[in-house]
């Protein structure tokens, strides 16, 4: 929900004028209708934000707007699967290594750090409109996007 550029009052996305102070609200760039400010590319990039990208991914997959957009859905699935791998490392691989001495050298920590790096890498790739397919996860995402 956006806020008035003048007084900070909450305004609806479709409001042209603020209900409290009457200030004209900035028109979304590129003359798009106000409800479609989230571009497919931005939505795709958000799906890869480490640790919280899955929220965007679930939103994309549930949204009517991207139902027909296979590229965005592919990114959403891939971002989701990347998070699943992170969870597996955190909940399955982690506890196993936690029983062993090793401290900072524990492989699960490095794995998770690597996954965060992959997420950032994917954000950069996607922001350049490159559809990068990760090994295994990319194939899974491809199938999921094709099925739904």
Number of shown-chain residues binding Zn ion (CB under 5 A): 8
| C-alpha distances out from residue 115 to 48, 56, 122, 142, 146, Å | 10, 17, 10, 20, 25
Nearer to Zn ion, 13 or 129 (CB): 13
Q: Does 111 bind Zn ion (CB under 5 A)?
A: no
Q: Which stretch binds Zn ion (CB under 5 A): 19-27, 43-51, 56-64, 79-87?
A: 19-27
Distance, in Å, from the CA atom of 137 to the CA atom of 60, rounded to the nearest integer, reads 18
22-61 positions binding Zn ion, by CB under 5 A: 23
For 60-68, the CB contacts below 8 A with 24+ separation are: 61/148, 65/36, 65/38, 66/40
- Alpha carbons 130 and 18: distance in angstroms, whole number: 39
Q: Which stretch binds Zn ion (CB under 5 A): 9-17, 25-33, 44-52, 65-73?
A: 9-17
CB of 11 to Zn ion, least distance (A): 7
Stretch that binds Zn ion, among 11-19, 47-55, 93-101, 140-148 (CB under 5 A): 11-19
DSSP labels for 18-42? -TTT-PBPPPPGGG--GGG-S-HHH
9 near Zn ion, judged by CB under 5 A? yes
Using CB under 5 A, list all residues that contact Zn ion: 4, 6-7, 9, 18, 20-21, 23
């Amino acid at each position: 929900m956006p806020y008035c550029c003048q007084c900070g009052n909450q305004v609806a996305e479709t409001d042209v004028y603020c209900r409290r102070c009457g200030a004209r609200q900035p028109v979304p760039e590129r003359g798009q209708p106000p409800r479609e400010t989230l571009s497919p590319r931005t939505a795709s990039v958000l799906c890869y934000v480490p640790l919280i990208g899955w929220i965007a991914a679930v939103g994309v997959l549930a949204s009517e707007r991207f139902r027909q957009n296979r590229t965005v859905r592919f990114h959403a699935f891939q971002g989701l699967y990347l998070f699943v791998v992170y969870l597996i490392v955190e909940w399955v691989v982690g506890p196993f290594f936690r029983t062993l001495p090793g401290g900072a050298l524990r492989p699960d920590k490095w794995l998770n750090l690597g996954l965060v790096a992959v997420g950032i890498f994917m954000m950069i790739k996607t922001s350049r409109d490159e559809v990068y397919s990760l090994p295994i996860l990319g194939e899974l995402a491809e199938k999921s996007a094709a099925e739904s």
